[in-house]
Amino acid sequence: MFEYDHRVLKAIEQVYGDSRSFLEAISMPSRRLYIRVNTLRITPEDLLDRLRSRGLEVYRDEELAEALYFPVKGPNKVDSEKPRVVVDKRAAESVYMGANLYAPGVIDCDESITPGTEVTIVSPRGFVVGEGVAEMSCWDMKRRRKGLAVRVTRSVFEAPRLRELPEYREGLFYPQSLPAMYVTRVLDPKPGEVVVDMCAAPGGKTGHIVELSQGRAYVLAFDHSRSKILELYENMRRLGHTYAVEIWRADSRYLHIDYPWIRADKVLVDPPCSALGVRPKIEDSKTWRDIEASAQYQIQFLRTAIRIAKIGGVIVYSTCTITIEENEMVIERIVEEEKCVEVVDTGIRRSSRGVYGVFRDLYTRFHPTLHDVTGYFIAKLVKVCES
């Protein structure tokens, strides 16, 4: 299931002592599936009532007012003997949680499959994730590349199909993990501030910035690829936030050169990472070179963030991974080399502080093994002088 080389496993053990407990945790979903209420369109209370009125089991989070969650049920036994549909990793992880299967996720299938055939859905390596009824033939699944391929009737785990809810289409909520919501809470964007989201797609944290600032911050959202920019724009459109966000296609490592006029009050750096903390994972492969490359990349984003921030400005750094090399060591290095930033407390108490006392206890970590959420790291910096 997991192809991690020796050094990656050692990096996991450095944090968790034993890689087995961590790998077991990330192979399972959290017991809560979170959404963030779009508070510019509806109150949490009203959305809660609306969802419950249609029979959905949904609850308010104990601390974050904008966070609602649905219980995740399972595991269920799934029939593995039916004609098979092989799907890519992303589709497999969605079906694993109860989502329907759409044709773009199909890699291969039994040629005998026609509409109405009962099928078993498996990952690229044969891990059974669900079963259902084909809505199209195998030929159509592989060649049409659009539309509903299999209506899932049973999956290993069960949760509401969020993107099929009318409230999703109306932009009343955004599916988002609990730790990701805390990131924007730490950033604490205010009306009138200039806020830069350096790696903004698909837009979860960008939307949260708009909502926390009541749509009155000057938000600049950057990402580097055309497809990501389109996804970011579509999410802002669905949420009704396009009026409040300027979306730019750019390599954020060079914002201080390409956009020298930016002077930000707040900067969010949520860079590409090894994503070891993301769950559930059906399968995954990582090498130590992946970790090293990510860390070097992350340093570049932080250097630029420091340059575009005002003196007194806040920089929040977050990742959905768990290695020290991509988290504490990145921040310690940037503080040592840049001299003009200081680490301050994130203010989050619903988390762990540091890693076994090795680093300062101002950093925040969420652990799959301890908090039953995505593995996450959050650091908060303040710029104290010109670099």
Kindly report, residue by residue over 300-339, the tens digit of the pLDDT.
Answer: 999 999 999 999 999 999 999 999 999 999 999 999 999 9
The vertex-131 CA angle with 126 and 133, nearest 5°, equals: 130
**pLDDT tens per residue across span 365-375:** 999 999 999 99
* 72, 32 contact by CB (below 8 A): yes
Strand 173-175 and strand 32-37: the pairing is antiparallel
Instruction: Provide CATH code, domain 177-383.
Output: 3.40.50.150
Distance CA(155)–CA(75), nearest Å, equals: 8
CATH superfamily of 84-155: PUA domain (2.30.130.10)
pTM of structure = 0.96
Query: How much is the average pLDDT of 209-233?
Result: 97
* Domain coordinates in residue numbering, the chain: 39-72+162-175, 84-155, 177-383
Q: What is the pLDDT of residue 355?
A: 60
Contacts of residue 13, Cβ cutoff 8 Å, sequence gap at least 6: 19
Q: What is the mean pLDDT of residues 19-27?
A: 96
Q: Known catalytic residues?
A: 320
Range 244-265 average pLDDT: 97
Calpha distance 238→177 (Å, rounded): 19
Segment 129-154, tens digit of pLDDT:
999 999 999 999 999 889 999 999 99
Percentage of the chain lying above the pLDDT 70 cut: 98
- State the average pLDDT for the chain: 96
The residues near 296 (Cβ < 8 Å, ≥ 6 apart) are none
pLDDT in tens, 54-102: 999 999 999 999 999 999 999 999 999 999 999 999 999 999 999 999 9
pLDDT of residue 361: 81
CA dist 199 to 182, 217, 335, 374, Å?
A: 17, 18, 21, 19
